[in-house]
Structure 1
Amino acid sequence: MSSSPPPALHFPLTPLEKKARNHGLLLSVGFLIFVPLGVLVARYARTFTNKWWFGHWIINFIISSPLIFAGWALGHQATNMSGLGHFNDTHKKVGLTLLVLYCFQLVLGIFIHFIRTPALFIMHRSPQNYFHAILGFAILALAAYNIHYGLYTEWMFVTGNLHPVPMSAKDAWLALMIIFWALYGIGLLLLPRQWKQERGQLQGRREKEDVASSGASAGP
């Protein structure tokens, strides 16, 4: 008579594992869901209206920043619990860099929106607009890399891998990458519509300026 295998033993997560898991969850939701969503709002909405900035700001600051700051704080606490030291490996160094870049990006976005500077290049955009976009992509790429590193390397190193990262978490990372870049690529097809709308807005501003200057010159 064959004997059945013994039942698998299930141990609860340790306090360190819970802290590290919550750290990863919050930052994954912040950097892989809401920040990309804010980027997509800007990419799509600006092709239909010039009032897109408010939605972009709500998602990338009001919603994303509490998740990102709380997630980063949990990571700091997890490092204290592990006793492994701060900012001494790739994941921790990249995490600090990401936080600094994210904060700088928020300030830059507010500056661009409220302070007008001389424009140049296509559609008369200021240089900081281009830098803001490039920095945004750099933050997304760096966040994707660091979360991948956390799933595949840092978790094992810090926790001892008593409870391995579930494959569903790794699959979710890949799915979010595919979904975002596919949607952004589709959004680029709307660029001609965006440029047409922006040309119309620019022409309207110029006409108003011409009317204002004509009125001033015709004064007594």
Structure 2
Amino acid sequence: MDRSTARYMVMILGILLSLFFSTTFAQSSCANYNFASNKVFSSCSDLPYLDSYLHWTYNPSSQSLQIAFRKTGMSSSRWAAWAINPISQGMVGSQALVAFQKSDGTVRAYTSPITSYQTGLQEGDLSFPVSDLSATYSNNEIIIFATLKLQINSSSTLNQVWQEGPLSNDNPGMHTTSGPNVQSMGTLNLLSGESKATSGASNSKTKYKNVHGVLNAVGWGILMPLGAIIARYMKVFPSADPAWFYLHITCQSSAYILGVAGFGTGLHLGSQSPGVTYTVHRGIAIALFSLGLLQLSALLMRPKKDHKWRTYWNFYHYSFGYGILILGIINIFKGLDILSPEKKWKHAYIGILVSLACLAVILEVITWCIVLRRKKSANANKLSHGLNGTNGVNGVNGYGA
């Protein structure tokens, strides 16, 4: 029965991990995005910088371009813009669509021709007609909608620029002049959907973010709780000793290694985004890194079961362990709020947490049933030995005391 239960545990956990990875890597950053307004676009592109995405529908015969520019990870104190540069690559000469949330809660969207690097994004007419211009802001994401009437060359390729920056009294301020803010430009083929950054860079930052999220979710959010489940419930089976201990150590060590790798990619992303700081998310990540290191260090100081300090070591180990579990899960949801991926990502992770919780509840019931049955059996054996002994009554009373 013990081995059978252990096999079922491994099978269930394997299914959960398979579900996570299949859901995670099947997602696309823009292709599966559903607009609240039920608008549908024929093409989309994950822009390589500034957490931005472009959706569009292009009609070659009329040269009409319907677009939706999405900028995620936005706060209400920042502006976002997407532009076409009809004359060259770069900022000067760009014909921009600008949007931001005003201090009264309304969202303003307007056009602004860029004539110099010192622009204040003043409102003005563009070199081509623009209609149906609007914008929305919710869940730290701003979306600009518009229809453009263009005069594009036969290759259907245009120069695009996208940007974000701070607000001051409902007026756009100067954006950062280093890092992704000066790399957020490139070409876009409206027919093939091919998007290239001017620098020739690929979507490396988006990939780093995906890697960062997956490493932390698997490490802190799945393997760490799984290791705790193994330690609590597998050791109730005598045949699982000491296998449960080595599984627990392997699981927790792997979780920490993945978590540290995720921590490293987070530091790299931070170095690529000057001026962008997520204080709470970063603080929890540092705490997890430190607590995890202390937990691994505690393994070297683990006293024997009969040692007088073992009780204190257990308290230390359990306290830090449960603290890591709670902080890890909290920080994963913080990261999801920052990245603002499709809802399916968050739903998949919530489903995994619920599955692990249900597994823990089932194993908790099984564990208590086994413990109570063993206690009842032990009591019966002691009672039997006491009654069969020379002083049966004293034996019973002695056990009861």
Does 2:250 align with 1:58?
A: yes
SS in 2 for 1:36: helix
Shift in Å, 1:187: 2.4
Is there any run of 5+ residues in structure 1 with no aligned partner, and where? 120-124, 156-163, 201-220
**Contact 1:109-1:132 within 8 A present in 2 as well:** no
Bigger RCO of structures 1 and 2 (CA < 8 A, at least 6 apart)? 1
SS at match of 1:117: coil
Shift of 1:12: 4.8
CA shift at 1:110, angstroms?
Answer: 3.7
Residues in 2 aligned to 1:192 and 1:107: alpha-carbon distance in whole angstroms: 34
Distance 1:181 1:114, change over 3 A: same
Q: Distance in 1 between matches of 2:208 and 2:44?
A: 22
Question: What is the CA–CA distance in structure 2 between the aligned matches of 1:85 and 1:117, rounded to whole Å?
Answer: 50
Match of 1:96 in 2: 286
| Deviation (angstroms), 1:114 | 5.8
Q: What is the alpha-carbon distance in structure 1 between the residues aligned to residue 290 and residue 41 of structure 2? A: 50
Q: Distance in 2 between matches of 1:134 and 1:182?
A: 22
Q: What is residue 214 of structure 2 aligned with on the other side?
A: 25
What per-residue deviation string (whole Å, max 9, x for no partner) do you get for residues 91-148 of structure 1? Answer: 01111111111111122234225686316xxxxx612213312321211111111110
Tell me whether 1:38 sits opposite 2:198 in the alignment: no
Q: Structure 1 residues 71 and 115, CA, compared in 2 at 3 Å: closer, same or farther?
A: farther
2:356 paired residue number: 180
Name which of 307, 321, 328 aligns with 1:136. 321
Determine which of 341, 344, 349 is the counterpart of 1:165. Answer: 341
Over the matched positions of the two proteins, sequence identity in percent amounts to 23
Which one-letter code corresponds to 2:263 in the other structure? W
- Spell out the pairing of 1:62-101 with structure 2 (5 A cutoff): 63-84=254-275, 89-101=279-291
Counterpart in 1 of 2:46? 11
Task: Report the TM-score when normalising by structure 2.
Answer: 0.41
Q: TM-score, normalised by structure 1?
A: 0.71
> What's the C-alpha RMSD, in Å, of the aligned pairs?
2.7
Question: Could you tell me how far apart the structure 2 residues matched to 1:98 and 1:6 are?
Answer: 41
Q: Tell me the matched-pair count.
A: 179
- 1:111 corresponds to which residue? 301
Q: 1:114 to 1:15 in 2, by over 3 A?
A: farther
User: Deviation of residue 192 (structure 1)?
Assistant: 5.8
Contact 2:224–2:251 (CA under 8 A) maintained in structure 1: yes
The structural deviation recorded for 1:27 is 0.8
Q: Would you tell me which structure has more helix in proportion to its own residues?
A: 1
Matched residues in 2 for 1:77 and 1:41: separation? 33
Q: Matched residues in 1 for 2:41 and 2:297: separation?
A: 58
Shift of 1:11: 2.7
CA distance in 2, matches of 1:24, 1:54: 27
Structure 2 counterpart of 1:126, one-letter code? T
Give the number of the structure whose residues are more often strand, by fraction: 2
Amino acid across the alignment from 2:312? P
CA distance change for structure 1 residues 133 and 185 in 2, over 3 Å: closer, same or farther?
farther
Q: 2:332 aligns with which of 147, 166, 173?
A: 147
Structure 2, unpaired ranges of 5+: 1-39, 49-202, 379-401
Does the Cα contact within 8 Å between 2:303 and 2:313 map onto a contact in 1?
no
